[in-house]
Structure 1
């Protein structure tokens, strides 16, 4: 059985391969999206919703590299400072 360091190295290698594949596919996806947007004359608001700025594509690219916002905190033994998941906010 592989030890921790070997498994960690394998995980890092797989992460690098996944990023390479994503980057290789990215241009194809962008070309397809741009072609459809042009073909149908779509606006930023139609694609991303009302109130979307012209920088929404850049914002989406930045957000893609950040982890999503965590789910609302629920009180557990690992997170005792959070609120209880009951309407009153207190323990039943």
Structure 2
């Protein structure tokens, strides 16, 4: 039977491996989520509920106040009122 220190070292090694696997899969997961959000035109409220939308609005207000970048014009879940970047009728 392994002693405490050996088991603790194994647990730490497994935790490190799990984090590496999570980071390796993260880009794929984010890309899949973004594709689905764009495909279905989902809003923040639909995905995260009303509380998340309020938090996003608060954060956006602060960011916009201090940001010198122009507002995005691409239609996204966070900016659903913007024009689609492709001709009408080509949206799935």
- Could you tell me which runs of 5 or more consecutive residues in structure 2 were left unpaired when the two chains were aligned: 58-92
**TM superposition score normalised by structure 2:** 0.55
Partner Cα separation in structure 2 for residue 47 and residue 9 of structure 1: 39
Cα drift, residue 2 of structure 1:
1.2
> What RMSD over aligned residues (CA atoms) do the two structures have, in Å?
1.4
1:27 alignment partner in structure 2: 27
Deviations 1:20-73 (A, max 9, x none): 101111111110000000111111011111232327xxxxxxxxxxxxxxxxxx
Higher relative contact order (CA 8 A, sep 6+): 2
Structure 1: gaps (5+ residues): 56-92
Q: Does 1:51 align with 2:51?
A: yes
Which residue number corresponds to residue 15 of structure 2?
15
Report what 2:3 is aligned to.
3
Q: How many residues in Structure 1 have an aligned counterpart in Structure 2?
A: 55
Q: Which has the higher helix share?
A: 2
